[in-house]
Amino acid sequence: DLGLTLLKLGEQGRVSLEKFSLKGSARKGLRYTSHKLEREGCIFEVVPTEEVPSLLPELKLISDTWLACKAAREKGFSLGFFDADYLKRFPVGIVRKDGKLIAFANIWSGAGKEEVSIDLMRYVPEAPRDVMEYLFVELMLWGKQEKYRWFNLGMAPLSGIQDHALAPLWNRLEAFVFRYGEHFYNLKGLRQYKEKFDPEWEPRYLASHGGLALPRILSNIASLISGGVKGVIGK
């Protein structure tokens, strides 16, 4: 016993690619989105790492436009942020509509093809409403074709946390932030959005010293997720 307190940070969702498909009534919504965007002229492709540098000006323009329209600032800890030198190290999934690049996501590939995931996803404001869902679906189908086992949807921060009279005080505080913190980055909506892909959820914890250290730890976590102190009080 090291005298540490386990603090639940959230839950990580992973989709089994062996089971994933667009067939059946359970996938009706995803199938509709995929076909709809294809009819509207959207095409998905994966750009290999060596070809990404030539796309960087277009990717930067999309990213800057996305941030401006969201009136947001880069988070940089729990979510990806735009860095040209970093993006050149990965393949990128892109969506073009009528030849114009409208959305992208860089691809993380796990060792031994255990899992695949994305870090940064951005799209232009004039893109079709469901372009993000389309990009996720196509990336999962690509990952399945490439024989990856899992698609990692990443964390749903502060979700799955106890919130009742007998729950520890800090768990109740975290649950409050999850329910009412969407003004800052829509954490509850993030969990609900990922549910449509039917992931398997796994808890993620932080081990720390308890007592009076916990408020400072929670403050530091909020600052990291929000991109610094200004991000905690802004968007």
Looking at 123, 148, 173, which one is the last position of a domain? 148
Which one has a higher pLDDT value, 105 or 68?
Answer: 105
Whether residue 144 is found in the same domain as residue 93: yes
Whether residue 164 is found in the same domain as residue 217: yes
In this prediction, residue 14 has a pLDDT band, given cuts at 50, 70 and 90, of: very high
Whether residue 137 is found in the same domain as residue 35: yes
Whether residue 77 is found in the same domain as residue 165: no
Looking at residue 186, its pLDDT comes to 54
Number of domains within the chain: 2
Provide the mean pLDDT of the chain: 79
Whether residue 86 is found in the same domain as residue 141: yes
> What percent of the chain stands above pLDDT 90?
51
Task: Take residue 72 and report the two structure tokens written for it.
Answer: 């947001």
Q: Is the pLDDT of residue 171 over 90?
A: no
Query: What is the C-alpha to C-alpha distance for residues 13 and 26, in angstroms, rounded to an integer?
Result: 18
Q: What is the pLDDT of residues 43-100, one digit of tens each?
A: 999 999 999 999 999 999 999 898 888 665 444 444 446 789 999 999 999 999 999 9
Averaged over 208-214, what is the pLDDT? 64
Q: What is the pLDDT of residues 122-143, one digit of tens each?
A: 999 999 999 999 999 999 999 9
- Domain hosting 24: range is 18-148
Whether residue 107 is found in the same domain as residue 180: no
Looking at 148, 179, 206, which one is the last position of a domain? 148
Full-model pTM: 0.77
Whether residue 49 is found in the same domain as residue 34: yes
Q: What is the CATH number of the domain that holds 44?
A: 3.40.630.30
Averaged over 26-46, what is the pLDDT? 96
Looking at residue 166, its pLDDT comes to 43
Whether residue 87 is found in the same domain as residue 183: no
Q: Is the pLDDT of residue 182 over 70?
A: no
Whether residue 44 is found in the same domain as residue 157: no
- The answer to whether 151 and 143 are in contact (CB under 8 A) is yes
Averaged over 100-111, what is the pLDDT? 94
Whether residue 80 is found in the same domain as residue 28: yes
Q: Is the pLDDT of residue 149 over 50?
A: yes
Whether residue 137 is found in the same domain as residue 189: no
Looking at 81, 116, 148, which one is the last position of a domain? 148
